[in-house]
Amino acid sequence: MSPYPPSDDHDDDSPMLDEEETTTKLRISFILSPSIRSQTQRDALTLPSDPIAVPASIRKKGLSAVVNHLLDRKVTTEDDDDEEEEDDDESKLPAIPFDFLLNDKLLRLPLDSAVRKEGLSTERAIELQYFPARVPPVVQGESEVLPDWITAMDYNDVVVGGGGSGSGDELQGGVLFTGGADGVVRSFSPSSSSSKGRLQPTCNVSAHTGPIHCLTSIVPNTNSNATTALVATGSIDQTLVTHIYRRSTDSTSSADASSTSLELHAVYSGGHTNSIGSVALLNNTNNGTTLLASGDWDGGLAIWSVPPTEKEDGVDSSNTDALVENHKKKRKGGGGTSNTTHTNPTVHEVKPITSIKAHSSNISGLAFGYNGTTTSTTPTTLLTGSWDHGLKVYDIERMDCILSLNGSRVVTSLCRCPNSNVVATSSPDCTVRLWDMRTNGEGHGGSGMDKSLRQSHKAWVSSVRWSPTDPFVLASTSHDGTLKVWDIRSFLPLHTVKAVNKKGDKALCVAFGNGIIYSGGSDCVVKQFAC
Amino acid sequence: MAPKKKNQPPPPQQLKVEEEEEDTPEMEPVDDDDDSSGSSGSSGEEEDDSNSDPQVSDDYDFNDDNDDDDDDSEGEDGGDSEDEFEDQGSSSDDDDDGALNEDDEDIDDSDDDDEEVEILDTDLINNEDAPRSWPKSMMKMKRGVDGNTKLTTTTTATTTPNITDGGKAKSVNEDDYTNDPAAAQWMHADDLSSDDEDEDGTTNRIGRIPLHWYDEFSHIGYDAHGKQVIKSTSSSNNKDLLDQALDADDNALDSKNNKFTVYDALNAKDVTLTPRQIELLRRLQSGAFAHPEFNATPDSIDYFSGVDPMISGLNSNRYLPKANFQPSKYEKLQVRRLLHRLKCGSINMDFLEGKVRDMNDLIQRPDGTKDGDDKPFALWKGDEEDELALRKGPQHMPAPKVPPPGHAYSYNPPLEYLPNEEELAEWREMDPSDRPYGLFIPQKFDNLRSVGAYTHSVQERFERCLDLYLCPRSMKRRLNIDPESLVPQLPKASDLRPFPTTKAIRYVDPTTAEEESDVVPVRCLTVSPDGQFLVSGSEDGVVRLWEVQTGRMLRKWDLSEIGSGGGGDNEKDLDGDDDKDDNNKAKSWPIASVEWNPNRTHHCILAAVGKCAVIISTGTGGMEDSEITDALLSAASSCKEGSGANIAPESRAAKAVTWTSTVNKGKKSTSTSSAALPISAFGIGKSGPVAVLRTNCDVASVKWHRKGDYFVTVSPKAGAAAVLIHQLSKAASQQPFGKSKGGEAQLACFHPHKPFLFVATKEHIRVYHLVKQMMVKRLLSGCRHISSLDVHTSGDHVIVGSLDRRLVWFDLDLANTPYKTLKYHERALRSVGYHPRYPLMASASDDGSIHVFHSMVYSDLMRNPLIVPVKVLRGHSVTKQSLGALSMVFHPTQPWLFSAGADGNIHLFQDI
């Protein structure tokens, strides 16, 4: 309230004065977030750090407009600022939505209340870090309706993807592998602008007789040209197999789906007596081998050594035939595997290196993690999440439990942050939880923090994946059919998009690539989002 | 004895004698008796110390200073007489230096010695002229003195009358001495024995031996330095006759001059006697009293006439002591002591006033426990008084209180309380009872003193009394109970998490989801022991297998064919069913019950459809498990059509049940179904119906034994063959009961770990021991129609749901009657169940709701189970047939709940 009664002699000035007096101002200084690394981008976005005064109740959008204005870009705010409309000329660059960090938390409230909540002093200029906001996921393409639900998927961007359907494209990185409820493993190459938003399976192979529970892929480190990938799938029918994805480099010109192939590589038997709940693959850089970890519904955890992916002469055909026969015999009635065995006669049968009972119930999430003490590049621990509400850290070499965390909810999916031991888990109670799995944390006595994000989902959260590039961003899918993108610096999701076409269908799996998110669910359609 | 001794004041005359000792130094050498002089001397010194102040009565002045010191030690003597108190004064004077009782003893001893010394002195006097060699009688006596003081005292007692003249009392003597100071002076000058040792040091130390032992020697004994004491040459023995003659002349001359010389043989010297000594010797020789001063014939005093108490010897203290006229120092002392003790708190006024006899009682009684014990009771109190006190009249009811006067009753009320003219006029017209202040009219006075008497006081008092008298009053006894306290203390539901709260997954059959026209109610549910799969049995005879995690339907088996086939075989049984089967024959065979094998390695389920119980292999096991399951099912699957399998043909079970293998048909059907459906078959084990047990009547319930080999089927209408127990591994059946008892069996259930079988009829539950083959218990539910039954995993608790809306909890250890009967539902209960791990219990009802209870069973037998309603789950709509939730089952490992309803929905409720 103005202390002075409105006077009559200043007709045109008094509203201005009133406005200036009534709206409290906060002084802020913009700092470009150090997370933006590229120098050209920094040059383009850097602002002078001189404090400026803004209205206290300004929000993210207003601040974004201010920054755009300072950067001399177009300000496309739908507010009633007509003067900005005037200087809207072609020379200016388009506006960029910015996001702001206050005290390492995303600004979601009005600035003054956020400052109050953080307990910052308004005497000095408030430092706001800004960076271009993550754009909402946009549907880039979707596949045709597949025969059955898509229950598991993984995206591997190291693999040089096949040309796919787009003939004129240059080689595009990344392959998406999906596992269906019909037990079929399919590979997709990312959709491009030329493919008219249509995702085509480049190849498929029937791997299991039951729904695939889990799927993961890796580029074996023995392979230098990154044209092959290893795909491990575990199914409800208690089988665990790996396939080799190959892209024949000679036939890039001919836009042919047959240029890629999925071959049965190895069958892993003897480790599990129940449905496979989760798998994880690891390239062991020390000895050049690849490790496969798998967990089953009984809580059994097995570690396997993946046989080399290169075709070896040491395996004679008779032996492999016998193996195949043996494999077929054991999987009675598994007719779907016939074509696979035809194409690739060298099928290994692998016995587990170690097999222990790690949990009392379904191991639903597995990830290789770094040991907190050693900063080696090779992960040395195995993180497990289970339906018995617990998370455990196992040392791979010794296979003993280093850390055991007890939660209160079932873990349905587990994913480790690409550059730290922070783990995100999803739970049936609509929650995504974050765990600090550092085992050397004497500070909190070995009990990891359970910092849960907001219960934004409306149903069972089925899957969670970190962004491979941004350590703050993760994506989750839920049975409510939505895909949510989160920034862990905020308790609210960044974006929510529909992942299924029909209401009532469930989104069951998610894969996160560099700027791409895939999701699949019970609508039998793979969707690709640009992010 | 000690105080008595001390009673006697020390003889003052002795002091005087000591004073005179200075005047008569020549007397010293006379006292040659070493021993007696030594003892008397020591005693005399002590007496000197104790009686340094001759004024005995002035001792009090000193005592005043010592009062406080003596308080504690002399507290016991508080009640003594004044004489004793005086003694104490003297004794405390003795104890000035803090002397202990031992010192007192010494003093006593010295007192004894005193008397002895006196006696000895008299002896000495008597034997003054005796030769130096001791007479034998005296020797004996001396030894006695040395050896035993008591002996001495006795001898003293005997000798005293001899010595003191004519049996006179000693006190009389003392009186005489005091009366005649000159006599006393002389007497005691004689009596005095010097306590000085020989000053020159030449005194013979011969000891008490006869001197004639030294006759042959030139010396007599030894002196203190061990030197021989040479016999004096001047002695008469050694002198020649001439000298003796000269001496005799001298003596004669001396005697004229009253000189008399005696030879002291011991010390070998001549002693010249004084005239006084000579006088004494003369008196002794003449047989008179030794002392010339002694008055042997005093004037007679009339002691015993009793005429004049002042003269009478009986009243020796004729002159009242000064203390009699002074304020009592003893009382002063006592008061001071009591004040001190009052201050200290060791006594209090109750004790002083005699209310408490012992201060210990008072100290023990801070809580008043011993109050009643010490209360004196009136020994002679009349009985009539007791009756008055105990008379039971009507209870006293206090009169209602008159309201306190307000401002208007003041003599100087505020203006607003003073009525103006109109009000006064109005009041006058009114009845006094209607006026605001009754008869009283507020008035203003200048001061209180000008207020007159209240004119209506008598009237008002009378009216109040009349009111109190006429209006009956009665005590209102209020039930002073907080209604909140009647509500049982139940913990908050939020503290009892986890329990299912929210709908999470709906299980929808993709093939039938589109057909919304007619929903097929789902009748029963069961979950695999590891919680991975869910099986539902619906009204149309289809058993579906779901994956819990994703809600995907994995398998389905249509059993209506088996049900109808079973029905068609027996024409006579079909009659009853025909009516309802008319409209739709295919859907007329509902799955009444379905149950997953509780053994984790046995992957098979049991379904009741129509008259049949069907064993279905689920095919969800791995290779090892499927082999185990195959082995288990081998006997059943190899049964020939229509044969009684392994049942003995003559047994009564043979008539009731037939085992039929459906493997051939089942294989065909599953292969076709899997081809038709997009849902892929998986697993290595065979899936689909394996065997059919055909009974005579509709099977209502099937239940597995916990080991997964035996199971029980109940067909309520079958009479004696209603309850049948089957063994799957042998494909055998048995009929445990020969005849049906207590109505139709509705449900049956095995005990979790004991060989018990629970059989529920419509109203009761019977517990049978299967090994002993006898009924153990009969539980009276109080319900009309039991619809569902579940046994707690501990085996000690049973819950029963009934169609008359009741949920009944039985504690088997407690009683045959219900521990609790809960009536929460609005319609009939269809299903009840315990959670196998969490303390949860739920009931599904036809009102479409499922009530979840926290049901904690304690291992402590003294604690009753805790039942708290925690959540009402509403997920099912009530159909036109007024059917709601038909079945519920808990997830085996999670706090989740599956429910199936008549609206065809299957829901998973989970905790959020």
Q: Phi and psi for B858 in degrees, rounded to 5?
A: -95, 145
Q: What is the residue type of A134?
A: R
Residue A149 and residue A521 in contact, taking contact as beta carbons nearer than 8 Å: yes
Residue B299 maps to a domain: no
Residue B569 and residue B695: Cα distance in Å, rounded?
A: 11
Contact B532 A428 (CB under 8 A): no
Contact B550 A148 (CB under 8 A): no
Contact A183 B893 (CB under 8 A): no
C-alpha distances out from residue A450 to A106, A372, A406, Å: 20, 18, 10
Domains of chain A, each with CATH number or no CATH: 14-132 (3.10.20.90), 147-357 (no CATH)
| HSE, side-chain direction, 13 A CA sphere, residue A239 | 26
Q: What is the residue type of B818?
A: P
Q: Which of A148, A455, A460 to mutate to test the interface with B (most CBs of B within 10 A)?
A: A460
SS3 B708: coil
Of the pLDDT bands very low, low, confident and very high (cuts 50, 70, 90), residue A463 is: very high
Question: What ipTM is given for this predicted complex?
Answer: 0.83
Q: Do residue B440 and residue B575 come from a single domain?
A: no
Chain B residues in contact with A362 by the CB 8 A cut-off are 530, 532
Q: Do residue B764 and residue B896 come from a single domain?
A: yes
Q: Which residue has the tokens 């309802």?
A: B580
Contact A428 B910 (CB under 8 A): yes
Residue A436 and residue A423: Cα distance in Å, rounded?
A: 6
State CA B546 to chain mean position distance. Answer: 64
Residue B759 and residue B714: Cα distance in Å, rounded?
A: 9
Of the pLDDT bands very low, low, confident and very high (cuts 50, 70, 90), residue A503 is: confident
Q: Which residue has the tokens 């004489």?
A: B83
Domain count, chain B: 4
H or E element in which residue A55 lies = strand A52-55
Residue B858 and residue B860: Cα distance in Å, rounded?
A: 5
Which of B155, B177, B197 is at the close of a domain? B197
Q: How far is A237 from chain B (nearest CA, A)?
A: 5
Instruction: Dump pLDDT digits (tens) for A117-164.
Output: 888 888 888 888 888 888 888 888 888 888 889 999 998 877 654 444
Instruction: Dump pLDDT digits (tens) for A214-233.
Output: 999 888 765 555 678 889 99
Residue B36 maps to a domain: yes
Domain ranges, residue B416: 399-446
Smallest Cβ–Cβ distance between A429 and the set B505, B681, B912 belongs to B912
What CATH number is associated with residue B807? 2.130.10.10
Q: Do residue B538 and residue B426 come from a single domain?
A: no
Contact A148 B683 (CB under 8 A): no
Residues of chain B with pLDDT under 70: 1-203, 232-240, 250-259, 268, 302-318, 361-375, 377-378, 381-391, 513-517, 565-588, 640-651, 653, 663-686
Q: Do residue B442 and residue B524 come from a single domain?
A: no
Q: How far is B576 from chain A (nearest CA, A)?
A: 42
Q: What is the residue type of B238?
A: N
Residue B19 maps to a domain: yes
Q: Taking CA atoms, what residue in B is nearest to A328?
A: B684
Residue B317 maps to a domain: no
Q: Do residue B611 and residue B695 come from a single domain?
A: yes
What is the 3-state composition of chain A as percent helix, strand, coil, each rounded to the nearest 5?
15, 40, 45
Contact B910 A430 (CB under 8 A): no
Contact B684 A331 (CB under 8 A): yes
Q: Do residue B550 and residue B694 come from a single domain?
A: yes
Region A77-102 average pLDDT: 64
Q: Do residue B552 and residue B442 come from a single domain?
A: no
Q: Do residue B428 and residue B516 come from a single domain?
A: no
Contact A210 B911 (CB under 8 A): no
Chain B residues in contact with A332 by the CB 8 A cut-off are 684
Contact A151 B894 (CB under 8 A): no
Q: Which of A332, A359, A523 to mutate to test the interface with B (most CBs of B within 10 A)?
A: A332
Q: What pTM value is reported for the model?
A: 0.63
Q: How far is B497 from chain A (nearest CA, A)?
A: 10
Rounded to 5 degrees, what angle do the CA atoms B606, B609, B615 make? Answer: 25
Residue B482 maps to a domain: no
Chain A residues in contact with B554 by the CB 8 A cut-off are 210-211, 236
Residue A244 and residue A260 in contact, taking contact as beta carbons nearer than 8 Å: no
Q: Do residue B677 and residue B596 come from a single domain?
A: yes
Q: Which pair of tokens denotes residue B553?
A: 């339907």
Residue A277 and residue A354 in contact, taking contact as beta carbons nearer than 8 Å: no
Q: What is the residue type of B187?
A: M
Helix axes B101-126, B82-94, angle to 10 degrees: 90
Contact B549 A148 (CB under 8 A): no
Residue B330 maps to a domain: no
Task: Please return the burial class of B267, using the count of CB atoms within 10 Å of its CB with bins 0-12, 13-18 and 19+.
Answer: buried
C-alpha distances out from residue B646 to B636, B651, B723, Å: 9, 11, 18
Question: What's the pLDDT score for residue B595?
Answer: 93
Q: Do residue B367 and residue B435 come from a single domain?
A: no
Least confident of A300-314, A461-475, B833-847: A300-314
First to last CA, chain B: 99
Rounded to 5 degrees, what angle do the CA atoms A500, A502, A504 make? Answer: 90
Residue B277 maps to a domain: no
Which of B162, B197, B232 is at the close of a domain? B197
Q: Phi and psi for B568 in degrees, rounded to 5?
A: -70, -25
Residue B907 and residue B853 in contact, taking contact as beta carbons nearer than 8 Å: no
How big is chain B, counted in residues? 912
Residue B581 maps to a domain: yes
In total, the C-beta contacts within 8 angstroms joining chain A to chain B are 93
Q: How many CB atoms lie within 10 A of CB A111?
A: 24
Instruction: Dump pLDDT digits (tens) for A334-365.
Output: 333 333 334 455 788 889 999 999 999 999 99
Q: How far is B707 from chain A (nearest CA, A)?
A: 19
Strand-strand pairing, B756-760 and B747-750: antiparallel
Q: How far is A319 from chain B (nearest CA, A)?
A: 23
Q: How far is A212 from chain B (nearest CA, A)?
A: 11
Strand-strand pairing, A105-106 and A126-132: unpaired
Instruction: Dump pLDDT digits (tens) for B471-528.
Output: 887 777 777 888 888 887 888 888 888 899 998 888 988 777 555 567 888 999 999 9
Q: Do residue B160 and residue B34 come from a single domain?
A: yes
Q: Do residue B667 and residue B748 come from a single domain?
A: yes
Pick left, alpha or beta for residue B334 (phi over 0 → left; psi -120 to 50 → alpha; otherwise beta). Answer: alpha
Q: How far is B556 from chain A (nearest CA, A)?
A: 15
Question: What's the pLDDT score for residue A249?
Answer: 57
Closest by Cα among B600, B595, B593 to B707 = B600
Contact A508 B910 (CB under 8 A): no
Chain B residues in contact with A148 by the CB 8 A cut-off are 678, 680
Smallest Cβ–Cβ distance between A181 and the set B552, B625, B911 belongs to B552
